[in-house]
């Protein structure tokens, strides 16, 4: 009996850890990421599996995530807006072996949440928001980033 | 002195052109510029060609974007519903085909043919029209209200409706509401909306 419980517990833990790779979140979750006081600079990238320029720039975020302790990368998939099945995103994360934190934004009416990320955002992706809670500075860009762009953008929110 | 002036002029130009891609585009009430763009049938199309129009539903669209695909039938339906009421649909593809080969003029022709487009599908090769309007993504709609023979004002900018993935689950039909209001000479209920979409593929400058 004890053993069965142990196996069950282990099973729960396994499924939980698999799902936690890309939880479905609401806009409030992102607002919290943007507003919470942190020593780390938040780099929040909006992408989707169908978006070619997004996929092209993903390695830049992965590199940033691996190299910089002072930065927290969050990759926000907006796939659900077009396709309610998150499976495609899970498979993509596995195939690309993404190490950065991925969340899947589970909202249906973009008009209700786009302005909460940035008033200047048209809604087109890729788009990236950089927030430094210690200086209160933020930088939003709506374009595909090239090598070196992220470092420059991060520098603008530093002091 | 001349050298100082030259340096100053160069510096001024550098400041003015830095970060140029972010053009503000139109606001509601602005006069929309007319254009002359090549249609998939090879003929040039302008707003002024439509003598009897009361306005226009100008949509920046393309072949390849999954949002354009999701909205394709809805765009075709908009023209069927509103062309006869004086608000024809005019679609414009501004994507640079060297970045997005599926949006070439030939691919545009085959899309228009396979979907039996009964409205223009124009190529904005220089991307000047998309920049002037301030189009950013596809599909991106500009509803124009024709106020006189040669002037149209922007009455609505944004998405077609509030549910991209499911036409049957739509609760707000922004474009239809805007055009209906213009037909009834009422004020447009929602003039600006935003939506997730594909970026227009701008030429590398």
CB contact under 8 A, A111 and B199: no
pLDDT computed for residue B205 by the predictor: 64
Q: How confident is the model over B82-101, as pLDDT tens digits?
A: 999 999 999 999 999 999 99
pLDDT computed for residue A10 by the predictor: 52
Q: Using 50, 70 and 90 to split pLDDT, how confident is the model at B24?
A: confident
Domain residue ranges of chain B, discontinuous segments joined by +: 25-199
**Is the pLDDT confidence value at B55 over 80?**
yes
Q: How confident is the model over B59-83, as pLDDT tens digits?
A: 999 999 999 999 999 999 999 999 9
Q: How confident is the model over B150-199, as pLDDT tens digits?
A: 899 999 999 999 999 999 999 999 999 999 999 999 999 999 999 899 99
Within 13 Å and on the Cβ side, how many CA atoms surround A47? 26
**Is the pLDDT confidence value at B22 over 90?**
no
CB contact under 8 A, B196 and A142: no
Measured between CA atoms, the residue of chain B closest to residue A144 is: B199
Residues of A in contact with B21 (CB under 8 A): 143
CB contact under 8 A, A124 and B193: no
How many Å lie between the alpha carbon of A125 and the closest alpha carbon of chain B? 6
Q: What is the mean pLDDT of residues B26-46?
A: 97
pLDDT computed for residue B19 by the predictor: 40
Residues of B in contact with A114 (CB under 8 A): 194-196
Domain residue ranges of chain A, discontinuous segments joined by +: 21-156
Distance CA(B199)–CA(B164), nearest Å, equals 16
Answer yes or no: are the C-beta atoms of A145 and A61 closer than 8 Å.
no
CB contact under 8 A, B137 and A115: no
pLDDT computed for residue B6 by the predictor: 57
CA angle B69, B70, B73 (to 5 degrees): 85
Distance CA(A77)–CA(A98), nearest Å, equals 13
Q: How confident is the model over B112-135, as pLDDT tens digits?
A: 999 999 999 999 999 999 999 999
CB contact under 8 A, A82 and B21: no
Within 13 Å and on the Cβ side, how many CA atoms surround A104? 24
The superfamily in CATH containing domain A21-156 is: Glutaredoxin (3.40.30.10)
B164 in A contact zone (CB under 8 Å)? yes
CATH number of B25-199: 3.40.30.10
B122's tokens: 């124009």
* Three-class SS of chain B: CHHHHHHHHHHHHHHHHCCCCCCCCCCCCCEECCCCEEECCCCEECHHHCCCCCEEEEEECCCCCHHHHHHHHHHHHHHHHHHHHCCCEEEEECCCCCCCHHHCHHHHHHHHHHCCCCCCEEECCCCHHHHHHCCCEECEEEEEEEEECCEEEEEEEECCCCCCCCHHHCCCCHHHHHHHHHHCCCCCCCCECCCCEEECCCCCC
Residues of chain A with pLDDT under 70: 1-20
ipTM: 0.81
Mention every residue, 6+ apart, whose C-beta is less than 8 A from residue B15: none
Q: Are strands B89-93 and B55-60 parallel, antiparallel or unpaired?
A: parallel
Q: Using 50, 70 and 90 to split pLDDT, how confident is the model at B7?
A: low
pLDDT computed for residue B16 by the predictor: 46
pLDDT computed for residue B85 by the predictor: 98
pLDDT computed for residue A57 by the predictor: 97
């Amino acid at each position: 009996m004890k053993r069965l419980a142990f196996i069950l517990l282990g099973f729960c833990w396994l499924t939980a850890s698999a799902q936690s790779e890309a939880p479905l979140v609401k806009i409030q979750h992102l607002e919290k990421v943007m507003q919470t006081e942190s020593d780390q600079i938040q780099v929040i990238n909006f992408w989707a599996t169908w978006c070619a320029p997004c996929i092209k720039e993903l390695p830049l975020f992965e590199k940033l995530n691996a190299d910089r302790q002072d930065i927290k990368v969050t990759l926000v998939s907006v796939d659900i807006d077009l396709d309610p099945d998150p499976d495609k995103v899970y498979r993509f994360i596995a195939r690309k072996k993404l190490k950065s934190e991925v969340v899947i934004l589970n909202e249906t009416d973009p008009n209700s949440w786009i302005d909460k990320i940035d008033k200047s955002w048209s809604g087109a992706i890729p788009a990236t928001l950089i927030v430094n809670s210690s200086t209160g500075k933020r930088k939003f860009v709506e374009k595909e980033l090239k090598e070196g762009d992220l470092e420059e953008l991060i520098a603008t929110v530093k002091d | 002195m001349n050298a100082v002036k030259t340096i100053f002029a160069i510096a001024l130009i550098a400041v003015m052109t830095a970060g140029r891609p972010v053009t503000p585009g139109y606001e509601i009430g602005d006069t929309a510029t007319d254009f002359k763009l090549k249609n998939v049938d090879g003929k040039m199309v302008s707003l002024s060609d439509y003598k009897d129009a009361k306005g226009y539903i100008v949509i920046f669209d393309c072949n390849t974007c999954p949002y354009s695909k999701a909205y394709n039938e809805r765009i075709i339906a908009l023209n069927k519903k509103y062309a006869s009421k004086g608000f024809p649909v005019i679609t414009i593809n501004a994507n640079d085909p060297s970045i997005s080969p599926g949006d070439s003029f030939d691919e545009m022709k085959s899309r228009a043919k396979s979907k039996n487009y009964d409205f223009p599908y124009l190529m904005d090769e220089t991307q000047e029209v998309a920049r002037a309007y301030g189009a950013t993504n596809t599909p991106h709609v500009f509803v124009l209200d024709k106020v006189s023979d040669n002037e149209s004002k922007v009455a609505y900018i944004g998405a077609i409706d509030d549910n991209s993935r499911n036409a049957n689950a739509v609760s707000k039909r922004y474009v239809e509401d805007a055009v209906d209001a213009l037909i009834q000479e009422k004020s447009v209920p929602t003039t600006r909306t935003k939506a997730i979409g594909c970026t227009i593929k701008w030429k590398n400058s």
